[in-house]
Structure 1
Amino acid sequence: MAIKSYVGALLLLLSFSSTINAQVFPIGNYGAKADGSDVSQALVSAWKEACASLNPATVQIPAGTFALSEVTLEGPCKNPLEFQLQGTLQAPADPSSFKTDGWIVFQNMDGFTLSGSGTFDGKGQIAWTKNDCHKNTDCRTLPTNLRFNFVSNAIVHDVTTLDSKNFHVTVMGCKNQTFQHFHVSAPADSINTDGIHIGRSTGINILDTDIKTGDDCVSLGDGSEQVTVKGVSCGPGHGISVGSLGKYDNESPVSGVFVTNCTITGADNGVRIKTWPASKPGIASDMHFEDIQMNDVLNPVLIDQGYCPFNQCKAGIPSQVKISKVSFKKIRGTSKSQVAVKLACSQSVPCAEVEIADIDLAYQGPEGPATSECSNVKPLISGIQNPPACAKVVS
């Protein structure tokens, strides 16, 4: 774990050093004004020139509030490039004005930094009222605030993503990308506003970051490999989740997930692995959750291989996603439900090599003290077990 944190800090230092003598491209030089007019053309023009620079370059958005419609900012660029946001970028409030599912898309980059004390304001309030994806499988996908597609060797730090219409951040097809001192903010009742969603990516670090949102703080889709989540403050939201997995054909394995030293407060879930019933075959292994503080969390520790929101599945058919080499260690705090630890594995492919150690979760409620449930799993148990491990075995 220490090595992974060092790598993240080293990436941050390298990002600073690479742009110390960078050529700066302020969007004001391209006609952008903080007067409510759309600055997308000015931003794209500044980006293109910076991307073509023979020296490291910085695209700069100064203090002030700027209106920005959807843009794609892409490489490859000739040198490392930094996007420096000091002010606030505001998305169009009406989701019907978007042609795609991304507000700001960074793609095909190698050596990229996103920095500054500024805010990406997704203006999601109208979109949340129109989101019916929980009951309409043919719903239109609403825009994500920040999409990273095929970005390598990148650092994102200190900026804020606010009130996204859909996921705040998606990381797809990326390698060696670190989020540090990153901020995500949306109300608890915002719909489908995952903080950071990762898929088909490797070497992703989320460090010392705070996430307040209406869905998963961090969600890991298929193909997520070597992911470190450390020092994250989560809540409100739906916790830190692997999955959901198994919904689609040919999903890639998930492996090498390390979640440590995090605090989860007032969330619907704590640390969770979720797969669909009647799923496609899949693999999720080498996943470790350690040193986690739970504060009034509804489901602090959860493996749910019957994940079926809004009855959008065939609930009676077991999941075919094989879960193995999982550990839950040093998890403490308070649960809002009596079942503080629930390991509900698949009857078809039971969980293997699961370890639970030093669990200390308290529940105060009319049902009695905290308890735990296990099905289709025989975990290795050690250390403190409060509640007693697998107190109820469900067949």
Structure 2
Amino acid sequence: MSRITSFNLYLLLCTIFTNTFCQGIIINVTSFRVRADGKTDDTRAFIAAWEKVCNSQGNVTLLIPKGTYLVGPLKLRGPCENVSSLTVLIKGYLKAKTDLSEYEFGSGWIEFAWINGLTLTGGGVFDGQGATAWPFNNCPTSSNCDLLPTNLKFVGMNRTVVDDITSLNSKFFHLALVECRDFNGSRLEISAPEDSPNTDGIHLERSSNVSFSWSNIGTGDDCISVGQGNSQITITNITCGPGHGISVGSLGKYPHEQDVNGLLVRNCTISGTSNGIRIKTWADSPGRSSATNMKFENIVMKHVRNPIIIDQAYCPFHSCSSQAPSRVRLSNIYFKNIRGTSLSQVAVTLSCSKGIPCKNIFLQNVHLNLISGERLPVSSCENVEARYFGIQMPPPCP
């Protein structure tokens, strides 16, 4: 019996035999005068329900049954000291309010913070209604932009499980993790149009022991972006596309960034994206950091523009102030069993910093063909110490 099915049985028994049988508390958001019509603002009801949840004791479940709920920004914060385990079981459809004046820039629409042992599950939907906000996003052209709200933001969380939820049309990132530990995400459906700006599926910052698996992500930006300060990240069985692929970075934009150490990306399919596996660092980075011990294996590329790319002169804007070499050190990076099709003739790009060349870059059994059979794919390399094993298509750099 699956965990979701078991939980439904748990709820049924609770309904029949009362909460005493459950040895826990179920708090239903509908007890707080929600309208659930998709038009009336239900924010206050959700805030009241959370206050009762966080002030409860023992095992607590916040139930959001089927219905359509219109809600503004929600700060669902702990530590909820007397709660031993907390489950948010969402069956309903949550729609974000569209008035940007109600949100703090750089915050989350729904933000969980400083909670131990949260489980978010139930098959529900978080719809950011981002189409009305995307025209106000100037981040693709300006480094000094105001960040629009992320659909689901997790800050300072420990032992978190997010399973079987859907995130649609976020105004900015869909899921963002900041300073989280022991986080497990699975069976996620994340979707936004291909031309929606900065709608990264999952973004990680300064987090450790994080895993994401068995999920479908298609957005207007990176399916998953691994930022600075992350360690022991595992990404498996992800279907990515459309979007910009699975990325490490960008790194090195700010001083005092922390290192990236320990990343495994395995058994993923990347389709119709502008990049496949990408590592990107800023030129003229103000501080020194490193990204090391990263492995990408068993990856299928389908019609990907740049299947494998290291770019240490990353600049998404029309021009950058300086072309000084990046000071982010890249080393011990493995590309193994990468196969599929490339839309560009340069299927492998290893463009490293002339100030700190890449070291210990390994490529094993890479087989990337062009869509058109008239030309052969090629590799492009600079400032890199690379070693090759097994099949190599395109051929290694001279």
In 1: Cα distance, 2:371 partner to 2:223 partner: 26
* Equivalent residue for 2:33, pick from 31, 34, 50: 31
Equivalent residue for 2:70?
67
- Residue 190 of structure 2 aligns with an amino acid whose one-letter code is V
Equivalent residue for 1:362?
369
3-state SS of 2:157 partner: strand
**1:206-355 paired onto structure 2 within 5 Å:** 206-279=212-285, 280-311=287-318, 313-355=320-362
Equivalent residue for 1:83?
88
Equivalent residue for 2:211?
205
In 1: Cα distance, 2:92 partner to 2:380 partner: 49
Show CA shifts across 1:72-127 (max 9, x none): 00111222111111111100123233234321000001000010111100000011
Distance verdict in 2 for CA 1:364–1:260, change over 3 Å: same
Show CA shifts across 1:119-138 (max 9, x none): 10000001111111222333
Distance verdict in 2 for CA 1:312–1:119, change over 3 Å: farther
- Residue 30 of structure 2 aligns with an amino acid whose one-letter code is G
| 1:382 partnered with 2:385 | no
- Residue 361 of structure 1 aligns with an amino acid whose one-letter code is L
- 8 Å CA contact 1:61–1:85 kept in 2: the answer is yes
In 1: Cα distance, 2:89 partner to 2:320 partner: 44
In 1: Cα distance, 2:332 partner to 2:378 partner: 23
**1:186-201 paired onto structure 2 within 5 Å:** 186-201=192-207
In 1: Cα distance, 2:135 partner to 2:331 partner: 39
Question: Gapped runs of 5+ residues in structure 1?
Answer: 1-11
| 1:124 partnered with 2:130 | yes
* Equivalent residue for 1:51, pick from 41, 50, 54: 54
- Residue 46 of structure 1 aligns with an amino acid whose one-letter code is A
In 1: Cα distance, 2:336 partner to 2:135 partner: 39
TM-score, normalised relative to structure 1: 0.92
- 8 Å CA contact 1:85–1:117 kept in 2: the answer is yes
- 8 Å CA contact 1:236–1:267 kept in 2: the answer is yes
Distance verdict in 2 for CA 1:16–1:200, change over 3 Å: farther
* Equivalent residue for 2:190, pick from 170, 179, 184: 184
In 1: Cα distance, 2:322 partner to 2:279 partner: 17
Post-superposition offset of 1:283: 0.6
State how many pairs are aligned.
Answer: 379
3-state SS of 2:118 partner: strand
- 8 Å CA contact 2:303–2:371 kept in 1: the answer is no
Post-superposition offset of 1:312: 5.2
- Residue 364 of structure 1 aligns with an amino acid whose one-letter code is I
Post-superposition offset of 1:139: 2.2
Question: Gapped runs of 5+ residues in structure 2?
Answer: 12-21
In 1: Cα distance, 2:351 partner to 2:235 partner: 24
Post-superposition offset of 1:243: 0.2
Distance verdict in 2 for CA 1:109–1:372, change over 3 Å: same
